[in-house]
Amino acid sequence: MCGIAGRLNFRTGAPVDARILRGMGDFLAHRGPDGEGLWHQAAVGLVHRRLAVVDLSDAARQPMTGEDPRVWVVCNGEIYNFRELRATLEARGHRFRTQSDTEVLLAAYAAHGVECLSRLRGMFAFALWDGGRRRLLLGRDRTGKKPLYYRLDGDGIAFASEPKAFLADPSFEATPALEALSDYLTFHYVPAPGSAFAGVHRVPPAHYLLVEDGQVRLERYWRLHFLPKRQPSEEDAAAELLARLRDAVRCRLVADVPLGAFLSGGIDSSAVVALMAEAGAAPVRTFSIGFEESAYDERPFARLVARQYGCEHHEFVVRP
């Protein structure tokens, strides 16, 4: 979990206030304990709070620029297929100076522009400034695992991983959105693109927001398709499900830091732990939350799975 934020004064062209940018980063400090970065130039600025997972070196710090020094990016999350993308981009002549997935994102944008989004597999939210085209691109992953909020005002657009970052700007009025309160009481969450604050919106899952030539455009780049309908045998369906689960777990094991799994003892988390062990992530570090009330306590089931796969198991108990 990293934190990203920034601002573009595309309506007035006024210089961004570096103090406000730093304040936005301070509000997001809890999202990234491993480093911080700020880049600004005239009417645009980017902020990053880093949680280092892939390529822990200083060369992978953000905001990051690549082969084109006019293009800068901040990214929260992971691009799981960055190694495959990197190999393809290297074959096209792109060169890399880090082992990070963020630099691959920069090269993918250089090669494919906005269409690079359809090639990314992962959980991510990023902000990319293309100084050559005077273009700001905000992108969010297909299912919206990583958050990205934005607000428009008289000068331009501000964006951040959490709305609280906007409190760094004295001009921001933290007014509640009453329709969001109604949504929350009805659904127990606020549906996208709304938020709890009036005037603050979310980039929806599988969408990008483009600011270019004074225009703001929100576009969908991916959609889940349910057709054509298939009727595989139970055996074939089970085999395909297992293959897809193996692939999903495998691509998430790419990291330069220790990995763990939250283990409840249920079917889904137990399957993830089993496939982590099968993929060679040994010993798998597992973590379980228990309760003193036995009717709600799932720790015995988690222990069974942890023993089966030789996990380094940790338990915590939640009390009032």
Q: Residues 122-137: what's their mean pLDDT?
A: 97
Q: pLDDT tens digits for 202-218?
A: 999 999 999 999 999 99
Cβ(162)–Cβ(149) below 8 Å: yes
Q: How far apart are the first and last CA of the chain?
A: 28
- Report the pLDDT averaged over residues 48-62: 93
Tokens describing residue 153:
């005002």
**φ and ψ at residue 308, rounded to 5 degrees:** -60, -40
| Strands, E assignment, the chain | 3-8, 35-41, 44-50, 64-65, 71-79, 122-130, 135-140, 149-152, 157-160, 200-202, 207-212, 215-220, 260-262, 285-291, 312-318
**pLDDT band for position 20 (cuts 50, 70, 90):** very high
- How far is Cα 306 from Cα 263, in angstroms, rounded to an integer? 8
Q: What is the pLDDT of residue 45?
A: 98
Count other C-beta atoms under 10 Å from residue 33's C-beta. Answer: 12
Mean pLDDT score, 147-154: 97
pLDDT band at 111 (very low <50, low <70, confident <90, very high): very high
pLDDT value at 43 more than 90: yes
pTM of the model: 0.92
CA distances 69 to 106, 267, 301, Å, are 11, 48, 53
Confidence of residue 127 (pLDDT cuts 50, 70, 90): very high
Q: Assess whether pLDDT exceeds 80 at residue 77.
A: yes
Judge whether residue 282 has pLDDT over 80.
Answer: no
| Mean model confidence pLDDT for the chain | 95
- pLDDT band of residue 280 (cuts 50, 70, 90) is confident
Please state, in angstroms and rounded to a whole number, the distance separating the CA atoms of residues 305 and 148: 36
Instruction: Set out the domains of the chain in order of their start, with CATH numbers.
Output: 3-220 (3.60.20.10), 234-318 (3.40.50.620)
Positions marked active-site: 2
In the prediction, which pLDDT does 6 show? 98
**What is residue 122's predicted lDDT score, i.e. its pLDDT?**
96
Average pLDDT of the segment spanning 13-36? 96
Q: Which two tokens stand for residue 75?
A: 């990214």
**Is the pLDDT reported for residue 281 higher than 80?**
no
d(CA 5, CA 167): 12
Mean pLDDT along residues 1-12: 96
pLDDT for 228:
87
- The pLDDT of residue 130 is 98
Whether a cis peptide bond, with omega within 30° of 0, leads into 205 is no
Q: What is the CA radius of gyration of the chain?
A: 22
Residue 261 has pLDDT above 90, yes or no: yes
The predicted model gives 128-133 an average pLDDT of: 97
Confidence of residue 1 (pLDDT cuts 50, 70, 90): confident
